[in-house]
Structures are given as structure tokens and as C-alpha cells.
């Protein structure tokens, strides 16, 4: 028998320019829409009645982007959810919106450069709203180590109390009530990444999550994924050179991957 299933349109690229007198604003989005519903006949009998085409989903995204001011990713995602929930066979909709940052060139009215600080993400469904950040590349040149870990006959990694710590943060947080300010959450993550000695990526992950929950009571939980982007000290002794923790090889693969969720403890008596 057919199990759970869904389908939709993915990687729909939307760029919207809002032209006000003397100043343009730019929103650069990638939108994914996934529908759940009574679609069994399409799978088992080839009967496509009641099945919205993914091409229609793409067109709907562009039309609503034109009609909608896109004040926030959450509000735009909510408008898409509301629209697709009106289709007869649809019982669930999940919309994921990523915003690619652009920054204004100085005070120029209509010129931009690619921004930094990570990709903003929002996911909206009938069940709730979450937000997050992706591609947030951060690095510390010191203040990090890794010691006291389990060793066996296959362990070759030396212990260290001074290493480069680099990662690409992916974080997703769930709201308990009104959405938090995205920039404030992102900035809290960045501050917590840098404000302590890190004995492990695991410790830093927990500290970053805890810092967000302490600062934002409207957030119930935050999930973090931190790949360890290794920087390996190069042995220059064969060339008669001393490498005083200065020259490294940056490696992409393989890498350690540390993931975890930091959440609020249940209320007493719950």
C-alpha cells in the first residue's frame, strides 16, 4: 500500500524589485512548496484528477510575489500556505523560503553587492512557523582546543589546546509565540561563537543554543548543525622552516559533523 507522500515545486528563484521614488529595494528568494493530500489515485491508478500541477505552483509563487509586499519571509510563506490550502485535495502545505542577502552600495539608490552574514530561512506550514540561517561561515584563529577524548589503537589525532575553529553554521529555531527578530538571533549566535574558550565543537554548539534561548524567550528550541572545517598545520621542518602555528591547509573533506538541539526544560510539574 502507498505510504506517506507529498510533492511540490522546488528551487523557484524569485527576485523582486520594489521601486519607490529615489530608492529601490531588492529581495532575492528561493522558494520550495510541498503539498500533502489525497493523491493516492495518481500513484496507484494514474488518475491525475485533483492533482495541482507543479508548474501551477511555480506560477502561483510569482503571482503572489507580485501581489504581496514580502514584508517578511514568514508573511509571504503564510500567504502561499493559505492559497494552496484552498485546493480541494490538499490537507497540508509546507513552504520554505530562503533569502539571499544583498547590500546597498553605499548610499546608491539602485546598486547592490552580494551581502554576507548567512542566508535567511523561514519554513511555514499549517502546524507552525520556524526560521533559521544557513551558510554562516565563521572562524576563530585561537581560543579552541580538543583534549581528553577517547583513544584506542586506531587513534592518530594529537591533542591540542590551541587550534583554528571554523564552521558553517546552519541553525533552525521554532517559535513559541510571535517571531523573533532574525538579525538579533543571528547576531546572538555570532557573539556566543566567539565569547568563550572552546574545548570542543559540542561545547560551542550548546553555548550558542543556550545564548539564543536566554536572549529570546519567544523561541522554544534551536537546532544547530556545525561541520568542523579542519585547518591542518603544515609540517615545514623538511624545508628547514619552523611553522609557529601560522600556515595551515584548509580542507573541505572529510569533516566532522556535530549536530544538536538546545531546548527549554519542561515546566515544573509538566
What angle, 0 to 180 degrees and rounded to 10, lies between the N-to-C axes of helices 54-67 and 73-84? 130
- Residues 133 and 225 placed together within one structural domain of the fold: yes
Nearest alpha carbon to residue 167 among 187, 194, 139: 139
Number of domains in the chain: 2
Confidence of residue 1 (pLDDT cuts 50, 70, 90): confident
Structural domain range at position 33:
1-126
Identify the bridge partners of residue 140 per DSSP, sorted by sequence position.
165
The residue among 126, 159, 176 that closes a domain is 126
Verify that 118 and 31 share a domain, yes or no.
yes
pLDDT score, position 243: 95
- One domain for residues 90 and 193: no
Residues 67 and 158 in one domain: no
How much is the pLDDT for 270? 61
- In the set 25, 30, 54, 119, the catalytic residue is 54
Q: Which of 69, 92, 126 marks a domain boundary?
A: 126
What span, in angstroms and rounded, lies between the C-alpha atoms of 89 and 111?
A: 44
Average pLDDT, integer, range 47-52: 91
Considering the domain architecture, whether residues 104 and 207 belong to the same structural domain is answered as no
Residue 252 lies in a domain: yes
User: What confidence category does residue 202 fall into, taking pLDDT thresholds of 50, 70 and 90?
Assistant: very high
Q: Are 4 and 103 within one domain?
A: yes
Q: What percent of the chain has pLDDT over 90?
A: 86
Q: What residues contact residue 35 under an 8 Å CB cut-off, 6+ apart?
A: 6, 7, 8, 52, 57, 84, 87, 90, 92, 93
Answer yes or no: do 137 and 252 share one domain.
Answer: yes
Does the residue 270 lie in any domain?
Answer: no
Residues 188-207 as b or e (16 or more Cβ within 10 Å = b): bbbebbeeeebebbeebbee
Residues 24 and 144 in one domain: no
* Catalytic residue from among 9, 83, 216, 223: 9
Whether 269 has a pLDDT exceeding 70, the answer reads no
Of 126, 157, 178, the residue at which a domain comes to its end is: 126
Is 82 contained in some domain?
yes
Bond into 254 cis (ω within 30): yes
Is residue 230 flagged as an active site residue?
yes
238 and 141 inside one domain: yes
In this structure, the answer to whether residues 115 and 176 fall within a common structural domain is no
pLDDT over threshold 90, residue 267: no
Catalytic residue among 83, 216, 223, 230: 230
Q: The whole model's pTM is what?
A: 0.89
Q: Are 42 and 48 in contact (CB under 8 A)?
A: yes
Given a cut of 80, is residue 176 above it in pLDDT?
no
pLDDT score for 71? 87
120 class by beta-carbon count within 10 Å (0-12 exposed, 13-18 middle, 19+ buried): buried
Tens of pLDDT, residues 76-118: 999 999 999 999 899 999 999 999 999 999 889 999 999 989 9
Q: Grid coordinates in use for 136?
A: 554562516
| CA 80, chain centre distance (Å) | 20
Helix/strand/coil (H, E, C) string of the chain? CCCCCCEEEEEEEEEEEEEECCEEEEEEEEEEEEEEECCHHHHHCCCCCCCCCHHHHHHHHHHHHHHCCCCCHHHHHHHHHHHHCCCCCEEEEEEEEEECCEEECCCCCCCEEECCCCEEEEEEECCEEEEEEEEEEEEECCCECECCCCCCCCCCCCCECCCCEEEEEEEEEEECCCCCCHHHHHHHHHHHHHCCCECCHHHHHHHHHHHHHHHCCCEEEEEEEEEECCEEECCCHHHCCCCCCCCEEECCCCCEEEEEEEECCCCCCC
Amino acid at each position: 500500500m502507498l505510504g506517506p507522500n507529498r510533492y511540490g515545486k522546488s528551487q523557484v528563484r524569485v527576485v523582486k524589485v520594489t521601486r519607490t521614488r529615489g530608492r529601490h529595494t531588492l529581495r532575492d528568494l528561493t522558494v520550495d512548496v510541498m503539498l500533502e493530500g489525497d493523491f493516492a489515485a495518481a500513484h496507484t491508478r494514474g488518475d491525475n484528477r485533483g492533482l495541482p500541477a507543479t508548474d501551477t505552483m511555480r506560477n502561483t509563487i510569482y503571482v503572489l510575489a507580485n501581489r504581496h509586499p514580502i514584508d517578511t519571509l514568514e508573511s509571504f510563506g503564510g500567504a502561499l500556505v493559505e492559497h494552496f490550502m484552498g485546493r480541494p485535495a490538499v490537507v497540508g502545505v509546507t513552504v520554505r523560503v530562503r533569502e539571499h542577502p544583498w547590500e546597498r552600495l553605499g548610499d546608491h539608490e539602485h546598486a547592490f553587492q552580494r551581502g554576507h552574514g548567512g542566508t535567511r530561512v523561514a519554513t511555514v506550514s499549517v502546524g507552525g512557523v520556524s526560521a533559521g540561517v544557513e551558510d554562516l561561515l565563521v572562524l576563530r584563529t585561537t581560543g579552541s582546543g580538543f583534549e581528553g577524548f577517547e583513544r584506542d589503537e586506531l587513534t592518530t589525532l594529537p591533542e591540542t589546546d590551541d587550534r583554528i575553529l571554523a564552521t558553517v553554521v546552519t541553525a533552525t529555531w521554532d517559535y513559541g509565540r510571535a517571531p523573533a527578530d532574525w538579525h538579533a538571533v543571528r547576531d546572538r549566535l555570532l557573539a556566543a561563537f566567539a565569547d568563550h574558550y572552546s574545548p570542543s565543537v559540542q561545547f560551542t554548539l550548546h553555548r550558542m543554543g543556550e545564548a539564543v534561548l536566554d536572549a529570546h524567550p519567544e523561541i522554544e528550541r534551536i537546532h544547530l548543525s556545525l561541520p568542523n572545517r579542519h585547518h591542518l598545520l603544515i609540517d615545514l621542518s623538511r624545508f628547514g622552516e619552523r611553522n609557529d602555528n601560522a600556515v595551515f591547509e584548509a580542507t573541505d573533506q572529510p569533516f566532522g559533523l556535530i549536530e544538536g538541539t538546545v531546548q527549554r526544560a519542561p515546566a515544573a510539574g509538566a
